[in-house]
Amino acid sequence: MNMLSSAGQLIGGALIGGVIASFSGILGYNLSLLLAAVVSFIAFLFTLRLKSRDEQIATMKANQ
C-alpha cells in the first residue's frame, strides 16, 4: 500500500505540474485545481460503492 501511495503522489504531482506548465498564467493553476477537484469527486463516488463495516465483517466471516 505504501508503494502505491508514493507512486500516486509522484504521478499526481507530475500531472498537476504538467497542467500548470502547459497553460500560461493563472489559467494553468485554475485548470490544475479543477482537475484535482474532478479526480477527487470521482474517487468520492467510488467510495459510495464500498461495503459498510457490518457487510465487510459478514463477508469476512463467510469466507473463513
Q: How many CA atoms lie within 13 A of 13 on its CB side?
A: 6
Count up the domains in the chain and report the number: 1
Place of cell 464500498: 50
pLDDT tens track for 15-41: 999 999 999 889 999 999 999 999 999
According to the model, what pLDDT value does residue 8 have?
83
E strands, 1-64, where? none
Enclosing domain of residue 25: 2-62
The whole-number average pLDDT for the span 33-56 is 93
Contacts of 3 (CB under 8 A, 6+ apart): none
